[in-house]
Amino acid sequence: MLRLREMPRTERPRERLKDLGARALSSSELLAIVIGSGTANRSALMLAQDALAKSEGSLRRLASQPVAALTAVHGLGSARAVAIHAALELGRRLAAESRDEGAPLRTPRDVWAAYAPRLEDLPVEEFHVAVLDAQHRLERNITITRGILNSSLVHPREVFREAIAERAAAIILVHNHPSGDPTPSADDRAITAQLVAAGRLLDIPVADHVVIGRGRYLSFAEGGLL
């Protein structure tokens, strides 16, 4: 077995990245750079290929696995597994930042584009509030809860406290379904009805509730559910 340093220069991931740029490399080559070094019997590139194979070649599946699952790949210890998770999370955050700052959230698809990169592959539910200004630009994102979603955890007090402080013109509710299916549950509907009523009392309208699935979304406003 050839170690990476024993491979021809034109085949080594680090040198290929320097010469050709990151986009020219395969996912396994990029992962090999993150992993850094191999073991006595497996090169970093082979470890990267093993990790991807365990996730059926999907970076999304790889990112959704806990660190402990990655360490099940022979040769990937805790430090290497943590490094992979950190790299994939940086990619997720970069995707979340790719939307133009200050662009208004005028349609459910705008909301999906802004929130899907950070929410659609999470293994647990997160409930967010998008605080909007008068031009429907995102003033602030507030994470209300993470984990099991029910009406006892999403209280109007927590949702509207920051919205009042920011003098929000409106808010949009956003949460994800780890199953990938954005169909609203009974709790989703109950939470939405409760918050819409609170918004009317406070004169801060709930413009929409967008449920993020995997590659798709459901808008309460579009579906006539508000």
Burial of 5 (0-12, 13-18, 19+ CB in 10 A): exposed
Report the pLDDT value the prediction gives residue 216, as an integer from 0 to 100.
Answer: 92
pLDDT given for residue 102 in this prediction:
63
CA angle 158, 144, 192 (to 5 degrees): 75
Burial class (CB in 10 A: 0-12, 13-18, 19+), 171: buried
- Confidence (pLDDT) at 219: 97
The confidence score (pLDDT) of residue 41 equals: 80
The pLDDT assigned to 7 comes to 66
Strand partners, 217: 212
pLDDT of residue 58: 82
CATH class belonging to 101-219: alpha beta
Query: Would you state the structure tokens that stand for residue 123, as one six-digit string?
Result: 């293994």
Mean pLDDT by 10 residues, the chain (226 residues): 59 85 87 85 86 84 82 85 87 66 83 89 88 90 77 77 89 93 92 94 96 94 92
Q: What is the pLDDT of residue 9?
A: 61
Where does residue 124 rank: exposed (0-12), middle (13-18), buried (19+ CB within 10 A)? exposed
Q: What is the DSSP string of 60-109?
A: HHHHHS-HHHHTTSTT--HHHHHHHHHHHHHHHHHHHH-SPTT-B--SHH
Residue 107 CA, distance from chain mean position: 20
Q: What is the pLDDT of residue 99?
A: 55
